[in-house]
Amino acid sequence: MSYKAEYIWVDGQVPTAKLRSKGKVVPDGEEPPIWGFDGSSTNQAPGENSDCVLKPVFICPDPIRGGNNTLVLCEVLLTDMSPHPTNTRAGCAASAEKYAELDMWFGIEQEYTFFDGLKPLGWPDNGFPAPQGGYYCGVGSDEVFGRPIVEAHLDACLQAGLAIAGINGEVMPGQWEFQIGAIPAPAVADHLWVARWLLYRIGEQFNVSATLDPKPVRGDWNGAGAHTNFSTVQMRGNYDACVAAAEALGTRAELHIANYGDRIEERLTGKHETCSYKEFRYGVSDRGASVRIPWQVARDGKGYVEDRRPNANCDPYTVTRLILDTVCAAATSSMA
**Residue 211 interacts with, from ligand ADP, Mn ion, none (CB under 5-8 Å by kind):** none
Tell me what percent of the chain is helix, strand and coil, each rounded to the nearest 5: 30, 25, 45
Measured CA to CA, the distance from residue 161 to residue 117 in angstroms comes to 31
Distance (Å, rounded) from C-alpha 262 to C-alpha 311?
Answer: 8
Q: How far is the CB of 2 from ligand ADP (least distance, A)?
A: 37
- Per CB under 6 A, does 304 bind ligand ADP? yes
**How many residues would you count in the chain?**
336
Whether the bond into 186 is cis, omega within 30 of 0: yes
Q: Is the Cβ of residue 227 or residue 321 nearer to Mn ion in the bound state?
A: 227
Q: Which of residues 82-111 bind ligand ADP (CB under 6 A)?
A: 105-107, 109
Q: With CB cut-offs between 5 and 8 Å by kind, which of ligand ADP, Mn ion, none does residue 105 bind? A: ligand ADP
| Closer residue to ligand ADP, CB minimum distance, 191 or 227 | 227
Q: Which is nearer to Mn ion, 37 or 176 (CB)?
A: 176
Contact 268, 274 (CB under 8 A): yes
Q: Contact with Mn ion (CB under 5 A): which of 177, 190, 315, 325?
A: 177
Give the other-Cβ count within 10 Å of 300's Cβ.
Answer: 10
Stretch in the footprint of ligand ADP (CB under 6 A) among 58-66, 111-119, 179-187, 239-247 = 179-187
Q: Which is nearer to ligand ADP, 74 or 187 (CB)?
A: 187
The residues pairing with 231 across neighbouring beta strands, listed in sequence order, are 105
What is the C-alpha to C-alpha distance for residues 152 and 164, in angstroms, rounded to an integer? 13
Distance between CA 185 and CA 208 in Å, rounded?
31
Q: From CA 11, how far away is CA 210, in angstroms rounded?
A: 18
Q: How many residues bind ligand ADP (CB under 6 A)?
A: 16
- For residue 210, count CB atoms less than 10 angstroms from its CB and return exposed for 0-12, middle for 13-18, buried for 19 or more: buried
| Site track 209-248 with ligand ADP (rule: CB under 6 A), x = hit | ------------------x-xxx----x------------
Q: Examine residue 178 and tell whether it contacts ligand ADP (CB under 6 A).
A: no
10 Å CB burial of residue 40 (0-12, 13-18, 19+) is middle
**Which amino acid type is present at position 132?**
Q
Considering beta carbons, is residue 221 or 230 the nearer one to ligand ADP?
Answer: 230
Nearer to ligand ADP, 78 or 165 (CB): 165
Tell which positions 211-270 bind Mn ion, by CB under 5 A. Answer: 227
Contact mark string toward ligand ADP, 155..174, x via CB under 6 A: ----------x---------
Q: Is 6 in the site for Mn ion (CB under 5 A)?
A: no
Best CA proximity match to 120, nearest among 166, 177, 176: 176
Q: Does 307 bind Mn ion (CB under 5 A)?
A: no
Q: Which among Mn ion, ligand ADP, none contacts residue 231 (Cβ within 5 to 8 A by kind)?
A: ligand ADP
Kindly give the residue spans of alpha helices, DSSP state H, lying in the chain: 89-98, 147-160, 187-206, 239-251, 253-258, 264-267, 295-300, 316-335
Q: Is there binding between residue 70 and ligand ADP (CB under 6 A)?
A: no
Which neighbouring-strand residues pair with 58? 73
Binding stretches for ligand ADP (CB under 6 A)? 105-107, 109, 165, 179, 181-182, 227, 229-231, 236, 303-304, 306
Using CB under 5 A, list all residues that contact Mn ion.
109, 177, 227
